[in-house]
Amino acid sequence: QITTVSGNEFLLQSDIDFLILDWFHAIKNAIDRLPKERSCTSRNLEFKLRRSSSIELLSSLDTESKEPKPEHRKSLIFRLNYSASDTNDRNRVKSRLKKFISRRPSLKTLQDKGLIKDQIFGSHLHLVCEHEKSTVPQFVRLCIKAVEKRGLDVDGIYRVSGNLATIQKLRFVVNQEEKLNLDDSQWEDIHVVTGALKMFFRELPEPLFPYCFFEQFVEAIKIQDNATRIKSIRSLVKKLPKPNYDTMKILFEHLKKIAAKESVNLMSTQSLGIVFGPTLLRPEKETGNMAVHMLYQNQIVELMLSEYSKIFGSEED
């Protein structure tokens, strides 16, 4: 870390020794070229080789005296210090951290006191729904409403990525249970809204298609006869927990509207399958069949979009 007289700070860090030495010589040469009358009693450069083999450049500038004495005009120190001798310090830090962690109140205690609120992102779907007393998360409804209002005709909707920093900001607002208005100018980019919606489903601890159903859906999509395949998928969908079924139904109904505008937004059922397949269903444990699984994931979403009315319709349909 280099701190200049004006207060600017810079961090240079590398695991490559010769690169650090190049930095050191470059900075040393720059200092040597500074005017001798520069107000600074000392300039010290110090390298520390940490146990992790990372090397940090530290610079300390002493500006206590505005009229430096000649012998203090410039001094340069270069050292390589191995931090193996710091073992005792690290052990003391570990001990203090353990004591600190052991004294921390539990998550439930903090939630009961209102210090930590229940999160929307990263929580189980059924818990979000229980908290909101609904079967479809409000955030999902708001995103779908916003996209259908101003995103159906947007080229590459759901495929094009939004600004990640803005998506994370939206995520923070939702998790803090602040009043969310997706018509606000800061969420003007519809790709931010779609990015946040995809992130919500991606961060579910258990996907929208529960783990215990994954292999059953894969086996169903393998069925050659189309009518039997649709019937099998429909049967599995009907067995899903209520929050999963209702959320899935409203999401696929929305995506079907996206696909209906394919001539404008260039998002076909196949494109949406590629985007949402790995997001909505995945195996609990990844195996060597990831590429094969991805193909089935895409096909399942694509079939459910193209045959939406048969899969989510009433028995009479």
Mean pLDDT of 165-172: 94
Reported as a single tens digit per residue, the pLDDT across 218-236 is 999 999 999 999 999 999 9
Longest dimension (CA), the chain: 98
Strands (E), the chain: 2-3, 9-10, 13-14, 42-49, 55-62, 80-82
Mean pLDDT of 128-143: 95
Four-way CATH pick for 125-312: 2.60.120.560, 1.10.555.10, 3.40.50.2300, 3.30.70.20: 1.10.555.10
Reported as a single tens digit per residue, the pLDDT across 254-290 is 999 999 999 999 999 999 999 999 999 999 887 766 7
The predicted pLDDT at position 197 comes to 97
58-90 burial by CB neighbour count: b if 16+ within 10 A, else e? ebeeeeeeeebeeeeebeeeeeeeeeeeeeeee
* 136 or 100: which leads in pLDDT: 136
Rounded Cα distance, 257 and 143, in Å: 14
Q: Kindly tell me if the per-residue pLDDT of 140 is higher than 50.
A: yes
The predicted pLDDT at position 17 comes to 64
Q: Kindly tell me if the per-residue pLDDT of 200 is higher than 70.
A: yes
The predicted pLDDT at position 32 comes to 77
Tokens 């937004």, located at residue: 265
The predicted pLDDT at position 188 comes to 95
Instruction: State the chain's mean pLDDT as an integer.
Output: 80
Contact predicate 58/27, CB 8 Å: no
Reported as a single tens digit per residue, the pLDDT across 204-214 is 999 999 999 99
Q: Which of 46-60, 67-81, 107-121, 230-244 has the highest mean pLDDT?
A: 230-244
Rounded Cα distance, 41 and 274, in Å: 64
Domain boundaries, the chain: 2-33, 125-312
Reported as a single tens digit per residue, the pLDDT across 75-120 is 333 443 444 445 666 777 777 777 777 776 665 565 555 555 568 9
* 37 or 64: which leads in pLDDT: 37
Q: Which of 49-58, 106-115, 147-156 has the highest mean pLDDT?
A: 147-156
The predicted pLDDT at position 18 comes to 64
Percent of the chain's residues with pLDDT above 90: 55
The predicted pLDDT at position 104 comes to 65
* 170 or 78: which leads in pLDDT: 170
Q: Kindly tell me if the per-residue pLDDT of 39 is higher than 50.
A: no
Rounded Cα distance, 232 and 218, in Å: 11
